[in-house]
Amino acid sequence: MLEGEKVKLREYRKEDIPKAWEYFNDPDVRRFLNPGIPFPLKLEDEEKWYEEQTSRKDTYNFAIVIKDTGEYIGGCGINSVDWKNRHACVGIFLGKPFWSKGYGTDAMKVLVNFIFSQMNINKVYLNVFSFNQRAIKSYEKCGFKVEGILREHIYRDGKYHDEYIMSILRSEWENR
């Protein structure tokens, strides 16, 4: 169920924390993730995140590992769920050494399949900065479409950038 062609999704483990912190704290990774001021993250913040994740309501995080080796390469998860309107917001990141090898697309497909087949959700959506072309391409390969544009919503590197909302509907997932 939580296995793709290249990756597996599994629970987060304490031993993932140093790598998660290293990958997540890389400025090249953080500039695509954090709409706020991209301050460096403390190891203690990562440990706190790990300790709190099980108590957060409607948040479900997975570690992404390479299927053949079990190496931890990043994370993905459901950030919030609206159970009445039946939509879920998702996110994903990989450590920089693992970009553009097909792992992210595979992991997102597994996550979306899990949500539609196990959680009775009607729409999965995410937010992505317009300058994150790698992510946009990857999401399109998973069947996501741009459904809205937040104009000049992100100030980064001295400029304003649009932020896109992308989504896939259950009906689209079923017809793929």
Ligand X SMILES: CC(C)(COP(=O)(O)OP(=O)(O)OC[C@H]1O[C@@H](n2cnc3c(N)ncnc32)[C@H](O)[C@@H]1OP(=O)(O)O)[C@@H](O)C(=O)NCCC(=O)NCCS
C-alpha–C-alpha distance, residues 152 and 147, integer Å? 16
**Cβ-contact 60, 114 below 8 angstroms:** no
List 134, 149, 155, 160, residue binding ligand X (CB under 6 A): 134
Nearer Cβ to ligand X, position 9 or 171? 9
Least distance (Å) between residue 6 CB and ligand X: 9
Nearer Cβ to ligand X, position 164 or 173? 164
Instruction: Find tokens 């300790």 and name the residue.
Output: 51
Nearer Cβ to ligand X, position 54 or 100? 100
106-109 long-range Cβ contacts below 8 angstroms, 24+ apart: 106/4, 106/5, 106/6, 106/7, 107/4, 107/7, 107/9, 107/64, 107/74, 107/76, 108/76, 108/138, 108/139, 108/142, 109/4, 109/142
Nearer Cβ to ligand X, position 40 or 84? 40
Q: Binding string to ligand X for residues 90 to 109, with x set by CB under 6 A, is what?
A: --xxx----xxxxxxx----
List 135, 154, 168, 169, residue binding ligand X (CB under 6 A): 135
Least distance (Å) between residue 84 CB and ligand X: 25
Nearer Cβ to ligand X, position 42 or 137? 137
Q: Binding string to ligand X for residues 6 to 45, with x set by CB under 6 A, is what?
A: -----------------------x--xx------------
**Cβ-contact 92, 74 below 8 angstroms:** yes
Tell whether the torsion through CA atoms of 30, 36, 37 and 43 is positive or negative: negative
Q: Give the CA count within 13 Å in the CB-facing half-sphere of 37.
A: 1
C-alpha–C-alpha distance, residues 107 and 117, integer Å? 15
- Per CB under 6 A, does 137 bind ligand X? yes
Interface with ligand X (CB under 6 A) = 29, 32-33, 74, 92-94, 99-105, 128, 132-135, 137-138
